[in-house]
Amino acid sequence: MGAGKTTAACAVGGIDTDDLIEAAAGKPIADIFRDDGEAAFRAHEEQAIVLALGGGAVTRPAVRDALDDAVTVWLDVDVDTCWERVRGSDRPLAQDEATFRRLYDERRPLYAEVADVVARDLHDVALAAAGVHVERGGVQKLGELVPGNGPVGLVSDAHVAGIHGMDAQLALGSRLSETHELPAGEEAKTLVTLDRLWQELRLDRRGTIVALGGGCTTDAAGYAAAAYLRGIPWVPVPSSLVAQVDASIGGKTGIDLPQGKNLVGAFHWPARTVIDPALLETLPEPVRHEGMSEVVKTGLLAGEPLWELADDELVRRCAAFKAAVCLRDPHDQGERAILNLGHTFAHALEAAAGYEGLSHGRAVALGLLAALRLSGRDPGQVEEILRPAPVRVDRERAWEAMQRDKKAVGGELRLVLLGEGGPQWDVAVPAEDVRRELDRLIA
């Protein structure tokens, strides 16, 4: 009680069991305790295990047994904080401080017994619910972090494999059955590359693809996993800043067509995402700077200067923000669209450049400028942190690519903007305004 489970559950699209129980019983929890007793309440609870589980639910053996088949997150908060939050409320088991503290001590061993993950805050809960594991040194633990016990196919590009591939192979040990190499960058995200990978794969349906690399590698390998044998598990191990804070999270996989970026793909949620912030230490500074575009985007959406944090916390907070949004909207039918802030412009510029000579990070930085200007917001932070300069691409080709963007509806462009109350998505913007801002991004 008072740990913040309901708040955390709502943040990741979950349901509090108390709400279900009250709906089923037709009366408040306090009345169930008064009229029917705690045993009746626990019996209700056994039938309603969703996400935000009541603090005493695990005292029932049937609940503990059921949790064997679930990912169970223990939101561990100190007793003083919990008591301050619930004192004076109508919670039946929070009417006496001594009783409350006794229950806290009695239940902790049970929490430890059933917990798969111990979370210290809402961000940890979002990561755990999304299957995202953030840990310095995580690559060296891949053998225990990749779910299952079947064979593993390791997919990477030559550059990343040369730096981190041996650590990954040693960690996977006897489970590693095959390795595959993709081209670096957007060339990995082509039908030709995927066709070759599918033909080389020898995994059976017990197998797992582990994708070690940047966002292009994880996008391509994830889509390969989604289609191979009609879908096998995959685990992204992102090595770039862009991939750690964005591309590897949320189950979107895809490849490019000449007409546009990510026009072919599938939703295929990873069995687990393993993020090791230590991998960022090998990034050249220009590559890291490119990745800051996604960090700035996330900070703008969250309303917090996440770009000011140290690497480990920066990655954790950005990854948690995206994870929570994706959990609330796993198939991109609503709120998840906010993650495309600036990306409609970025993808158009990348397509106009033929996916050569213009990095995704630089394109996103330019796209953020346009999105902020159309939102009536000061783009100063983007200009100061990312320093984007106009790019030389064909204007008409960029405009054509923008009109073919996945977020266009009936030929009408829909953008993500930042309103006074926060991000807004599916905003219809006059074509002349969009074209004006696109032209400002082109040298």
**pLDDT tens, 99-123?**
999 999 999 999 999 999 999 999 9
pLDDT range class, residue 17, cuts 50, 70, 90: low
C-alpha dihedral over 123, 128, 130, 132, to 10 degrees? Answer: 90
pLDDT at 271 over 60: yes
**CATH no., domain 132-283:** 3.40.50.1970
What integer pLDDT is reported at residue 46 of this predicted model?
55
pLDDT confidence of residue 269: 92
Residue type, 161: A
Domain boundaries, the chain: 5-121, 132-283, 335-440
Are 5-121 and 132-283 in the same CATH fold? yes
Q: What is the pLDDT of residue 7?
A: 84
Percent of the chain with pLDDT over 70: 93
pLDDT digits (tens, 9 = 90+) for 405-419: 756 666 678 899 999
Mean pLDDT of the chain: 91
Kindly report which listed range (23-27, 176-180, 306-310) carries the lowest average pLDDT score.
Answer: 23-27
Q: How confident is the model at residue 33 (pLDDT cuts 50, 70, 90)?
A: confident
CA 243 to chain centre: 10
For 47-65, what is the mean pLDDT?
A: 77
Tell me the CA distances in angstroms from 145 to 161, 167, 169, one per residue in order: 19, 14, 13
The residue whose two tokens read 């006059």 is 430
- How would residue 49 be classed by pLDDT, with cut points 50, 70 and 90? very low
pLDDT at site 48? 44
Neighbours of 251 (CB within 10 A): 21
| CB-based contacts of 96, cutoff 8 Å, min separation 6 | none
**Fold classification of 335-440 (topology level):** Dehydroquinate synthase-like, alpha domain (1.20.1090)
Alpha helical stretches, state H, 68-200: 79-86, 97-114, 122-129, 142-145, 158-160, 166-172, 191-200
Cα angle: 103, vertex 105, 106; to 5 degrees? 60
Q: How far apart are CA 127 and CA 238, in angstroms?
A: 15
Q: How many CB atoms lie within 10 A of CB 152?
A: 26
Least confident of 28-42, 183-197, 390-404: 28-42
Q: Is the pLDDT of residue 23 over 70?
A: no
d(CA 299, CA 334): 20
Taking domain 5-121, whether its CATH number is 3.60.120.10 is answered by: no
Q: How many CB atoms lie within 10 A of CB 111?
A: 17
pLDDT of residue 8: 83
